[in-house]
Structure 1
Amino acid sequence: MRTVERTRDGAMLRDVLAIGAAMVAVGASFGAVAVAAGLPAWATLAMSAIVYAGGAQFMAVGLVAAGSPLAAVLAGLLLNARHLPFGLTLGGSLGPQRWRRLLGSHLMTDEATAFALARPAGDPRRRAFWLAGVLLFFAWNAGTLLGVLAGGAVGDPTVLGLDAAFPAGLIALLLPALRDRETRRVALTGAGLAVATTPVLPAGLPVLLALGALALPLVLGRRRPPPGPDGPAPDAGTRRDEPRPALRAGEASC
């Protein structure tokens, strides 16, 4: 059993490092863009270490450069409101100590959450979260430092296609969970809501609206007919007056 766990931990470490490499490149782009927009180097580094919000940092720098710091704060809060359900889901997996929960809430990202939820509850999930959370935090901040030092040489991450590395990694991590029919139905419904509303809603709102798909099991559960006195309702096309199949040899009739 320990050998299996070590093998899984090794495979997870490989996957975390792969996403971390992309995060270094995107973090370097953020550092270069922020400095080019007029943000001091110390403020750029402090934002990555204290705010640590990925795409929200790009949006905040753009809004601050446009002279709308209040809009940057509100947009960042809206975009990162998705971390509320993340925290409710992973709160018990971070450890009983309060300082662990506070630190874990700072390291909680989409990628760290996906790595954690891909493992069974308990110690495997806790190890997955802290491994992914710590390594990705240092990868992002190391990339920011490189970008600040390199200036504008890194450029836009979308030109190199690095912006697609994160969603691609998340999809790969979530594929095992999509084997469950109900989970797959909820995920596809949420994705459809987000895609359909992205052209008409501000950034961040489509992701929040996609959480409405979590109510789908409750709605479908209410539509199902209640079980009868002799057990669940028969499937469609099954008649109650059909004769019972003949008993096999050796079976007694009750």
Structure 2
Amino acid sequence: MISFINADLELDRQPILTDINLTIDRGELVYIVGKSGSGKSTLLKALYMDIKPRRGEVSIAGYSSSTTKRRHIAHLRRKLGIVFQDFRLLHDRSVYDNLAFVLKVTNTRQSLIRDSVMQALEEVGLAHAARQMPLNLSGGEQQRVAIARALVREPVAILADEPTGNLDPDTSLEILEYLKKINQKGIVVVIATHDYELVRHHPARTLQISGDTIRETTFSNSPAGYRPLP
């Protein structure tokens, strides 16, 4: 489903991660943890091909960084749901229209749009807010709209970049519960976060970025927090 093979990643010509080798299988929920600025977002950018590796290969959902043409990247992104820390909703459109817009630009039949939008909003408990404007909602509700927007195209994977970074602890746990429910439908969910407490409360497979490398880790209740697997 997802693989990095001997991949070197850089951003603005600055080396970020070196010789990355990892595989994420269909149906997995995976945390990418590390300090702010460690390269978590860079890793996700490589997955939705906002950047390509300087060396090696990144592949997701049948698309490879070494063979995918620029004109085909939009087709890949239609198979992915991407959730950002700052929501990135259209403030001049209602909640319903934020989701409907995603389907309209991919030429979804009008007869299917309403049912798809309302189903996605139902999954995050916001069907009642369909006609609200985003700025009238709380931060947690706006992030749930962003998750619904990611879900509305029935993606094979959701990539969440610090999805709880602007939220209080209780709301963060609520957002994580929605992402876990989506994962239980068989959708891959990759969550980049520096919130170790969140991961401690809801453990799953965890990959930690340290320096320019990434490796499997296990959570420890010791003050050190995480320790790499041998």
Q: TM-score range by the shorter chain?
A: under 0.3
TM-score, normalization by structure 2 = 0.23
> Considering only CA atoms, is the larger Rg found in Structure 1 or Structure 2?
1
Structure number with higher helix proportion: 1
Structure number with higher strand proportion: 2
